[in-house]
Amino acid sequence: MDNGVYVFDEYKNHKLRLWINIPPLITIDAIDTFVHKISPKNPILLDYSSISIVVELRKNLNASNYALLGALFIPENNDVLQVEGLISTNTGEVLLDNIAMPNDEVLSGIPLEYAQVVSNVTLRHKYYIDSLPIGKLLFNVGAHAKIGSSQAIFANVTRLIYRLLVEDLVRLEREKLDAIIEEHLLT
């Protein structure tokens, strides 16, 4: 895949934007962090220096319909995936460039209630996923809607980031990316 922004417009009643290695400029005023270490049964050593993945998702059919979450992954040969997440207040800067519903206001940051979901999804991966890349994963980009965000949609985008992380995004063909996104949105 080339670095850039990929748009999946009105895809299965969803709209999704995906940034690879060119994250949107969103400032998070972190007030805390969470840290977890995972020792995958089948560690995957990826052969690139780092990769940034940011997912913005809007579901058209649900009341909880918006999340933006991103992470920076740095591979390391150490048999461990160290996951860190930034936690912010819920009163970040207004984010004008977004795909949320037009009547909703989007704020930068990953408030505690959504950071806890990212942490919980991470812990579930610790026990249920055999293969994960090894290195450092920092959830450092996020935004939420005042009305339309929920723990469920943040869990959804977190799972998609983990799903994309096990792929070699540098060499991934667009058709394979489309299939991954479609499979994820249908589950």
Task: Show the domain range for 97.
Answer: 4-186
> CA–CA distance from 1 to each of 5, 30, 45 (Å)?
10, 31, 18
> In whole angstroms, how large is the CA radius of gyration of the chain?
15
Beta bridge partners of residue 141, listed in sequence order = 70
Q: What is d(CA 27, CA 146) in angstroms, rounded to the nearest whole number? A: 17
Q: What is d(CA 101, CA 125) in angstroms, rounded to the nearest whole number? A: 31
pLDDT in tens, 109-131: 999 999 999 999 988 876 657 78
In this prediction, residue 57 carries a pLDDT of 93
Domain count, the chain: 1
Residues of the chain with pLDDT under 70: 1-3, 10-12, 62-64, 126-128, 187
114 CB contacts (<8 Å, ≥6 apart)? Answer: 67, 142, 144, 149, 151, 154
In this prediction, residue 7 carries a pLDDT of 80
